[in-house]
Every structure is written in C-alpha cells, then in structure tokens.
Amino acid sequence: MPEDEEKIRIDKWLWAARFFKTRSLAADAVDGGKVHLDGARVKPAKTVKAGDELRIRQGPFEFVVTVRGLSGRRGPATEAARLYEESESSRLAREALAAQLKAQPAPQFEQKGRPTKKARRQIIRFSQGNDQ
C-alpha cells in the first residue's frame, strides 16, 4: 500500500466510496454536520483510516459504516462497495424507512394552479366586503 493511501481526507473517501456524486458535495455534507467520525463532528480535511466508524446522513436515510479500505480514486460501484461495511442494524433501519416512505401516499394538492379571472374578481369582491 503506498504511503499516501494510508491517510486520506474524509471528503475524498466519501466521494471514492460513492456516497456523494462530487467531492465538493461530500465536503459540504461534512461541513454541514451530516457526517460524524467515531461519534464526533469533523471537518472535510480530517483523515480516515481503516476501522473508523462513520455515520452518514443523506436525506431521511442514515448509514452507519465501518471503513474497510482506503482509496483516493473513484472507481466502479463494486470496487467502492469494498471500501466499507455497513452495520446490520443500519441496513435494516434504512430498509424499514424506505418501505415506510414508499407506503405513504404522495402529497396531493386540491387546487389547480392560479385562480381564473372570474374567481379572482369574486375574491376581490369578497375581500372588499358586501358594500356594493
């Protein structure tokens, strides 16, 4: 293993492990407190090593992973999956939340856009009062 791969920035690792599409998105997530290393909030330049535990929030989902390998380059998804191991409880909680979100009905709006000219005139007459 080359010397420079023994330590790698957390934002670069998150990008290489395909948790985020770009390195800047990974850095923004770390800055925003969405990523915790061994239970502590960190900065994007913090180095990670094999065995570290990461807690990564993406939208409503939370991943709890253990770093298994280090890579500074973004490879195929199969290679990226070897860089970490997700805990069983994390995977089950994520799948349960995904099923719950899928079961909820999509939000529906009862109104259909802007009021018509006639409806707008009625609203104006109503809001001005029944003086006319």
CB 66 within 8 A of CB 84: yes
**Per-residue pLDDT tens over the stretch 1-46:** 444 457 899 999 999 999 999 999 999 999 999 999 999 999 999 9
DSSP summary character for residue 4 = G
**Per-residue pLDDT tens over the stretch 95-130:** 999 999 899 887 776 767 888 899 899 989 988 876
Q: How much is the pLDDT for 130? A: 61
pTM of the model: 0.74
Q: How much is the pLDDT for 104? A: 86
**Per-residue pLDDT tens over the stretch 67-100:** 999 988 999 999 999 999 999 999 999 999 999 9
As a whole number of Å, the CA-based R_g of the chain is: 24
Q: What would the DSSP string read from start to end of 35-78?
A: EEETTEE--TT-EE-TT-EEEEEETTEEEEEEE----SS---HH
CB 3 within 8 A of CB 24: no
Query: Domains of the chain (ranges plus CATH)?
Result: 1-91 (3.10.290.10)
